[in-house]
Amino acid sequence: DKKLQEGLSEDQIYEYFKTKYGEWILYDPGLNKNTYILWLLPILIFLIGGAIIYKSFIVKK
């Protein structure tokens, strides 16, 4: 609210927070060397969970 009162646009406010706290603060950060883990972690969790389910229920006969 304070930044809006200072007359900053939405893009300027996003840039301010990105500069101050880093790109991870954004809801949809770009893919680069600092944020690739944010993008890959859900895929890894899905694959590991699928492997556990597969091993627990399908392989067990």
Q: Count CB-CB contacts under 10 A for residue 35.
A: 15
Domain ranges (residues) in the chain: 1-28, 31-61
pLDDT at 61 over 70: no
Report the C-alpha gap between 33 and 24 in whole angstroms: 12
Query: Do the beta carbons of residue 13 and residue 3 sit within 8 Å?
Result: yes
Q: What is the mean pLDDT of residues 1-17?
A: 85
Q: Give tens-digit pLDDT for 23-42.
A: 767 766 677 777 788 888 99
pLDDT at 15 over 70: yes
**Overall pTM > 0.85:** no
